[in-house]
Amino acid sequence: MQAVMNNTIPRKDQIAFVLKWLASIVQIFGYTATALQLTPLNMYLFLVGIFGWLVVGLLWNDRAIILIHFIALAAMVFGLVNG
């Protein structure tokens, strides 16, 4: 808490914090678009959200987050290109 009050949070952590929330909100919009049958908008929203979380995984050097989002991104791009 003291780090927040002194604004000493490292820049990379600030970027990751904002990006993870933006990516999550975009993915929620993707789920909403899916429920409302708004295709292909839902796919584009998911692509943005997945890419955002992939970047967060890279910033955190978290291999699990990187792996799942890299595979999800590749699968979605493959599906969009071949669909």
Q: How many residues does the chain have?
A: 83
Q: What is the model's pLDDT at position 8?
A: 77
CB within 8 Å of 19: residues ≥ 6 apart:
52, 55, 56, 59
Q: Is 6 within a domain?
A: no
Total-model pTM: 0.85
Question: What's residue 1's pLDDT?
Answer: 52
The low-confidence residues of the chain, meaning pLDDT below 70, are 1-7
| Domain of 52, in residue numbers | 11-82
In a domain, 1, yes or no: no
Q: Is residue 27 part of a domain?
A: yes
For residue 47, give the amino acid letter. L
State what percent of residues in the chain have pLDDT above 90. 84
Q: For residue 48, what pLDDT is reported?
A: 97
Q: Which two tokens stand for residue 67?
A: 């792996």
State how many domains the chain has.
Answer: 1
In a domain, 25, yes or no: yes
Residue 26 located in a structural domain: yes
